[in-house]
Amino acid sequence: MSQTTEPPILQRRKNHLPEDIVLSILTRLPPKSVIRFRCVCKAWDSSITTPKFISTHLNNFAYDNDNGDGYIIHIPWYTRAMDSSKRRVCTVTLDRTFDRISEIDVPFDFPSGSVQIAGSCNGLLCLAYKGKFNIFDNVIYLWNPSIRKFKRLPDSYMERLACYGLRLGFVYDSGNNDYKVVKISSYLPKGLLPFKPMPDEIEVYTLSSDSWRRVGMPLRANVEVFDNNFQIPLVSGALHWISLVLEGEEEHKGEVIMSFDVNSEEFRMLVMPDGSLSTRRSQRSLALFKGKLAFITFGISDQHGYHYSMWVMREYGVLESWNQLFVVPLERSAVCIAFTMHGSLLIRYLNINNQEQKCVLVDTETLHEKDLDIQQPSCVATFMESLALLDGANMVSY
């Protein structure tokens, strides 16, 4: 910096911004800039990598978004065998319009098979690999594309041989400032007829301990592993999934919504919405719709033909507040994939009877459909840029 005739001390005082203001400016920068500016000086390098800076940055940069526009990230489920040497590519789009913003290479290998986005929290993605013969493997990664770091989770120790279904949830436990992965494993019935259904096993991985542990459920139940499209929704600090109660006084309830508080790790049950069980449907999922718990089904009926129906729990925990929002007819068979933060629904029309497969974005208010350029069945999740896990231990940088 060029020196003037003024004594250095005066000049410093004149132009010098207090440290807290400098940090305030830094917390408003995109992650790529923050990482580059670690090279400015030692003080900046050490300040940037503190948990306090990372969480302030989350508030100031990621969440202080005037436009309210978030992002969506999507990745194809499969790589074809011939492409298996190529790494997968994710696409980032605007949440509202699905306009393509960028593409990101996945830095780790999944063998051919399918990949699932188990969750997306504070800019961290949890990706899981589902093996070739539909047998789940223990390959789970936590990945922050914005700072180019990832971590493969250690294997959990639950027996995998008889596991036929698996659901994963990924959450941030703000009470403990910790990230958790929740694994619900379903097992094949044991023994000969009459089959005795096996209850699910629940395991929780916490980043702080870098290990899995088993969590006991207060009753025996089986998670309904319908589909792996919607991430397990986090509402009011709890993960929710549809479960069939196996025994005990609750058995008469049949299907319930199991809720798992991520902080206290306690279970609760919620009742399914009225009318949700009446018709046979080909897809039934819980989802997050504009911050509320929603139940969405796709089915076919005489009255409506192909259609999807949606219920939203307007007031969390209050049974009467389940509100059937709409029944929307569709031209043909489809799968509901995800809600955007804006509240639009992503649907994939299936290629049955030589009709082309295509993805569309449906505005749930106007019912307007927008064709999307997503060629293959894909996982979809909300996304943001952040510095999450910049201070994480045992992360791989690339």
Partner 1 sequence: MKFCTVKQYFDDENNNNVTNGIATTVIPLPNKHLKIKANNKEMEQYEQELLRNVMPQELTKLILAANYLNFKEALDFFCRTVANAIQNKSVDYVRKFFGLESDFEPGEEEKLCKEFAWSFEGVDED
In angstroms, the CA 175 to CA 208 distance is: 13
Task: Confirm or reject binding of residue 182 to partner 1 (CB under 8 A).
Answer: no
Q: How far apart are CA 215 and CA 183, in angstroms?
A: 10
The count of other CB atoms within 10 Å of the CB of residue 363 is: 15
Q: Judged by CB under 8 A, does residue 14 bind partner 1?
A: yes
5 binds partner 1 (CB under 8 A): no
Of residues 3, 5, 39, 172, which one binds partner 1 by CB under 8 A? Answer: 39
Written as one letter, the residue type at 126 is C
Closer residue to partner 1 (CB): 18 or 194: 18
Nearer to partner 1, 26 or 312 (CB): 26
Interface with partner 1, residue 394, by CB under 8 A: no
State yes or no: residue 108 binds partner 1 (CB under 8 A). Answer: no
Q: How far is the CB of 27 from partner 1 (least distance, A)?
A: 8
Q: Is residue 24 at the binding interface for partner 1, with CB under 8 A as the rule? A: yes
- Distance between CA 391 and CA 124 in Å, rounded? 13
Q: Nearest distance from residue 279's CB to partner 1, in Å?
A: 45
The yes or no reply on residue 30 touching partner 1 (CB under 8 A) is yes
Task: Please count the other Cβ atoms lying within 10 Å of the Cβ belonging to residue 315.
Answer: 11
Q: Which is nearer to partner 1, 49 or 357 (CB)?
A: 49
* Size, binding site for partner 1 by CB under 8 A: 32
* Cβ-based neighbour number of residue 300 at 10 Å: 16
Pair of tokens at residue 253: 């309830």
The token duo for 191 is 């023994």
Q: Work out how close the CB of 394 gets to partner 1 at its nearest, in angstroms, rounded to a whole number.
A: 16
Instruction: Decide: is 1 part of the binding site for partner 1 (CB under 8 A).
Output: yes
Residue (of 380, 302, 367, 270) closest to 336 by Cα position? 380
Q: Read off the tokens for 168.
A: 């994963």
Among 5, 9, 17, 332, indicate the residue that binds partner 1 (CB under 8 A): 17
- Any contact of residue 7 with partner 1 (CB under 8 A)? no
Residues 6 or more apart from 7 whose CB is under 8 A from it? none
Task: Supply 260's token pair.
Answer: 């798992």
Does position 32 interact with partner 1 (CB under 8 A)? The reply is: yes
Beta strand 292-301 with 305-313 is antiparallel
Q: For partner 1, which is the closer residue by CB, 21 or 135?
A: 21
Number of H helices and number of E strands within the chain?
5, 26
Please tell me whether residue 319 binds partner 1 under the rule CB under 8 A.
Answer: no
Secondary structure, 3-state, 206-245: ECCCCEEEEECCCCCEEECCCCCCCCCCEECCEEEEEEEE
Segment lying near partner 1 (by CB under 8 A), choices 25-33, 198-206, 340-348, 379-387: 25-33
**C-alpha to C-alpha distances, 74 to 122, 131, 329, nearest whole angstrom:** 16, 19, 26
Q: Which amino acid is at 288?
A: L
**Binding span for partner 1 by CB under 8 A among 38-46, 312-320, 365-373, 383-391:** 38-46
- Measured from the CB of residue 152, what is the shortest distance to partner 1 in angstroms? 20
The answer to whether residues 134 and 372 touch, using CB atoms and an 8 Å cutoff, is no
User: Tokens for 308?
Assistant: 């999807």
Nearer to partner 1, 148 or 253 (CB): 148
- The residues in 44-103 that bind partner 1, with binding defined as CB under 8 A, are 44-45, 66-67
Report the residue number, 22 or 246, with the smaller CB distance to partner 1.
22
Give which of 180, 278, 259 is closest to 221, Cα–Cα. Answer: 259
The token duo for 334 is 């489809």
29 is a contact residue toward partner 1 (CB under 8 A) = yes
Measure the CA–CA gap between 60 and 214, rounded to whole angstroms: 36
Q: Which stretch binds partner 1 (CB under 8 A): 20-28, 71-79, 91-99, 357-365?
A: 20-28
Q: Which of residues 132-171 bind partner 1 (CB under 8 A)?
A: 148
Shortest Å, Cβ 314 to partner 1: 27
Could you say whether residue 320 binds partner 1 (CB under 8 A)?
A: no
In the Cβ-directed half-sphere of 289, how many Cα atoms lie within 13 Å?
A: 27
Tell me the closest approach of the beta carbon of residue 68 to partner 1, in angstroms.
9
Please state the closest distance from residue 58 (CB atom) to partner 1, in A: 15
Q: Which residues bind partner 1 (CB under 8 A)?
A: 1, 12, 14-18, 21-22, 24-26, 28-30, 32-33, 35-45, 66-67, 148, 397
